[in-house]
Amino acid sequence: METRIWWFSALLSALLFAVGCCTSTQDESGGQPGKGEGAGKKPAWRPETTLDLIASDLALALVDKQVSCIAISEAFGPGGEGKDRSKFGTYITEPIAAGLRKRFDERPRERRVRIVALLNKVHRSPEWLQEMSLHQADAFLTGTYMPGKREFELTIQVRLRSGEVIASSHRKLPASEDYLREAATALPAWPTHEPPKATVDATDLKRRLYHAPATDSSIRVAVRPADEPVRVGGKISFLVTSSANGYLSLLYQNSKEHVAFLLPNRACGSPTLRANEVTRIPTPKMEEAFEFEADEPAGWERVKAIVSANPIPWPKDAAGDVPTETIGQLNALLALMAEAKFGEAHCEFQTQR
């Protein structure tokens, strides 16, 4: 009798346990197994981690690149600026931009890169090119994507305005099927051919020449006018200091953004500076051969001091000056500065009548 009771009790306990498990399964699934709140639900799109990794890839590739400003557009793709396109572009570009800003902010001040947003501007459109010039952006974010069954394949690049790729990252981005289907119809795939090159004029190249960043952080430079105010038609002198011995070049930009080399010139090469000494330019000996004069019109003007450990082989024209007029001449100067090692500083001052 005791054996039967024990066996019956064990069977009853097993049945109650099985019923409890079934009840629990039904409660969690809304009463029907396999059809609960979580069953069949599309996976949430969580792109932050992948896009942050893309930002990390790009920032690492840009460590030794001479880039001062990167432009990023919401319109992620050519042609059209519909709601779906802008939404997709924002999802992709904003986290990447945030990741790049975070990493660039950790750099020393002289090596930081600005990130500017060109909202709703389609790549290579006239408005896009105009804003690129306005922000003095020398590179831009672009890329390709390929919707699959459960993910996007993203290739994100940083390109110079010439179209040259200087950084790239390829990663897979998980996404829900509904969103993939929506994006595939709303966004035509990027063309596989190279995008047309931006039209660059001499004014833009002169601006890039003046704002070319230092390539040797060990040489710290300072420059300012020796006397202020500076009068139109009057002589201008500059006070220059350098943390290291080096050779000085002076680049001048007037209120109309015309640039010219004050040094070297036809009468003088690149003078030498002694470390941590203030040098007045032009020196008394230089003034026997030439002087700097403030020309019309009055306004804000700039001077850039370039100091290099070795003389920079600036090209000379027939008169012995460094030419800065044609696109070919300016491109040659930019290529030379990209290879040279130098420290730089620039200052702004106002000329008055």
Both tokens of 140, joined, read: 């831009």
Q: Walk me through the domains of the chain, giving residue ranges and CATH numbers.
A: 48-197 (3.40.50.10610), 203-352 (2.60.40.2550)
Average pLDDT on 195-220 reads 78
The two three-digit tokens of residue 309, written as one number: 């450990």
Of 116, 128, 138, give the one whose Cα is nearest residue 204: 138
Predicted structure pTM score: 0.47
* Digit-coded pLDDT (tens) for 134-161: 778 888 887 766 666 667 777 888 888 7
- Whether 40 shows a pLDDT value over 60: the answer reads no
Residue 143 in 3-state DSSP?
strand
Q: What distance in Å separates the CA atoms of residue 233 and residue 170, rounded to the nearest whole number?
A: 57
Residue 20 burial by Cβ neighbours in a 10 Å radius (0-12, 13-18, 19+)? exposed
DSSP character string of 48-115: HHHHHHHHHHHHHHTTTS--SEEEEES--SSS---HHHHHHHHHHHHHHHHHHHHHHHTS-GGG--EE
What pLDDT, on the 0 to 100 scale, is given for residue 275? Answer: 95
Spatial contact of 225 and 346, defined as CB atoms under 8 Å apart: no
- Contact between residue 350 and residue 230 where contact means Cβ atoms under 8 Å apart: yes
- Going by C-alpha positions, the residue among 212, 215, 223, 219 that lies closest to residue 348 is 223
Residue 85 in this model has a pLDDT that exceeds 50: no
Confidence of residue 100 (pLDDT cuts 50, 70, 90): confident
Question: What pLDDT does residue 53 have?
Answer: 86
Q: Please, which pLDDT band fits residue 321 given cuts at 50, 70 and 90?
A: very high
Please state, rounded to an integer, the average pLDDT across all residues of the chain: 75
Nearest-Å Rg of the Cα atoms of the chain is 31
Which ranges in 152-215 belong to alpha helices (H)?
A: 177-186, 202-210
Question: Encoding tokens for residue 351?
Answer: 């000329």
Please choose, from the candidates 300, 290, 241, the residue with its C-alpha nearest in 3D space to the C-alpha of residue 262: 290
- Give tens-digit pLDDT for 160-195: 877 788 888 888 877 655 555 555 444 434 333 344
Phi-psi domain of 210 (left: phi exceeds 0; alpha: psi -120 through 50; beta: other)? alpha
